[in-house]
């Protein structure tokens, strides 16, 4: 992997908001462009749940494994080269098997659960796991309080996020997304400091509804983000999500699944918006004032693509920073 070269943006502090596999990919690119002390990743914990008594934090794990270059390259979640012996033994016992916990991956959940039971916060536990995995950027849960996201379905059910996403393969139609718990969750000192010290905030190409919104819903975090230059990256390309239910959710909530609707969703939070070059034509005639639109290839299929997109996001961030300084 090519080490980062000394570029102007390396002196700026960046806070990236992320959740899920797409977010983790851009985070890897950012980590390759910036010195580790200048990158904080604030991660969605709305997907977290307790399974077999173990505390599972899928988005924290996806970011951690991606930064440690440990992730399964095909699935984007879980560990590369993991096996499923425990899962198979559980199946024999008739235990629920809808959520795949790999044998090596189980070590993360066991150690996290042990640390939490000993009284460490989720932030302290995550920093401990990151240190052991050799990850130097700050990976921060959005809150130490549980903040589960629920999906209210058109057929009248209230599903915990992993029940909707994994057990039901995000097939049920979404009527509403319940982020009430995130709204009650307190932000951590570390997350607030990361946002206050940041020169630039990046909204990674994660699902706006269930990955970025829960973070913004935690008390005070949206206001802190609002005060900073923000570059957001669309998770939709030509109306489709690279992975996961983002496009399907837009449609079910009565909104056209399109990059510009992602921008509309974030509204006045965003100073610059990165969308895929395949969507560039669709925005030519749109009336957007005060927001820089930038189109490029946003599909991150290999390490080189992640670094290039991160480099472009940071250059754009510098441009926004310079412009805001001019106006001050
Ligand atoms: N995603 C799946 O689609 N199926 C699984 O069985 C599954 C297991 C799993 C175990 C640990 C972990 O950290 C993540 C896991 N994921 C699985 C991914 C995860 O549920 C989703 O990617 C996120 O919650 C969406 O952001």
Specify if 24 maps to a domain: yes
| Burial degree of 148 (CB within 10 A; 0-12, 13-18, 19+) | buried
Name all residues whose Cβ lies below 6 A of ligand 1. Answer: 19-21, 47, 56, 58-59, 61, 77-78, 99-101, 105, 162, 165-166
Per-residue pLDDT tens digits for 71-82: 999 999 999 999
Helical residues (DSSP H) of 169-283, grouped into ranges: 180-184, 189-197, 213-217, 221-226, 246-252, 259-266
Ligand 1 centroid, distance to 87 Cα (angstroms): 14
Is residue 309 in some structural domain?
yes
In a domain, 313, yes or no: yes
Residue 1 domain-assigned (yes or no):
no
Closest ligand 1 atom to residue 60 Cα is 13
State the CATH number of the domain containing residue 83. 3.40.50.10680
Asked if pLDDT for residue 222 goes beyond 90, the answer is yes
User: Domain containing 227: what range?
Assistant: 6-327
Residue 216 covered by a domain: yes
Whether residue 102 is contained in a domain is answered as: yes
Q: 226-280: per-residue pLDDT in tens?
A: 999 999 999 999 999 998 999 999 999 999 999 999 999 999 999 999 999 999 8
At 250, list the tokens: 């837009």
pLDDT for 4: 43
Q: What is the pTM of this model?
A: 0.96
Which of 57, 146, 138 lies closest to 105 in space, CA to CA?
Answer: 57
Total number of domains in the chain:
1
- Flag whether 67 is in a domain: yes
pLDDT digits (tens, 9 = 90+) for 27-71: 999 999 999 999 999 999 999 999 999 999 999 999 999 999 999
């Amino acid at each position: 992997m090519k080490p980062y070269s000394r570029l102007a943006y390396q002196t700026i502090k960046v806070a990236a908001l992320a959740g899920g596999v797409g977010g983790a990919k851009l985070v890897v690119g950012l980590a390759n462009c910036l010195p580790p002390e200048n990158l904080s990743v604030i991660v969605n914990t709305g997907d977290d749940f307790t399974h077999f008594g173990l505390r599972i934090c899928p988005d924290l794990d996806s970011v951690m494994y991606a930064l440690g270059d440990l992730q399964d390259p095909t699935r984007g979640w879980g560990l590369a080269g993991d096996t499923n012996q425990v899962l198979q033994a559980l199946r024999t016992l008739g235990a629920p098997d809808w959520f795949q916990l790999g044998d090596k991956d189980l070590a993360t959940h066991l150690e996290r659960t042990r640390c939490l039971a000993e009284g460490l916060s989720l932030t302290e536990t995550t920093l401990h796991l990151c240190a052991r995995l050799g990850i130097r950027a700050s990976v921060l849960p959005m809150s130490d309080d549980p903040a589960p996201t629920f999906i209210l379905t058109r057929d009248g059910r209230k599903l915990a996020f992993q029940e909707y996403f994994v057990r039901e393969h995000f097939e049920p139609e979404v009527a509403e997304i319940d982020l009430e718990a995130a709204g009650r969750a307190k932000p951590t000192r570390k997350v607030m400091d990361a946002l206050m010290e940041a020169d630039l905030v990046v909204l990674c190409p994660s699902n706006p509804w269930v990955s970025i919104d829960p973070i913004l819903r935690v008390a005070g975090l949206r206001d802190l983000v609002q005060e900073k230059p923000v570059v957001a990256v669309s998770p939709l390309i030509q109306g489709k999500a690279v992975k996961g239910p983002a496009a399907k959710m837009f449609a079910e909530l009565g909104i056209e699944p399109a990059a510009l609707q992602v921008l509309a969703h974030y509204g006045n939070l965003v100073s610059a918006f990165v969308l895929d070059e395949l969507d560039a034509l669709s925005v030519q005639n749109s009336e957007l004032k005060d927001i820089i639109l930038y189109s490029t290839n946003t599909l991150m299929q290999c390490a080189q693509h992640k670094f290039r997109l991160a480099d472009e996001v940071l250059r754009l961030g510098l441009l926004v920073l310079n412009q805001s300084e001019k106006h001050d």
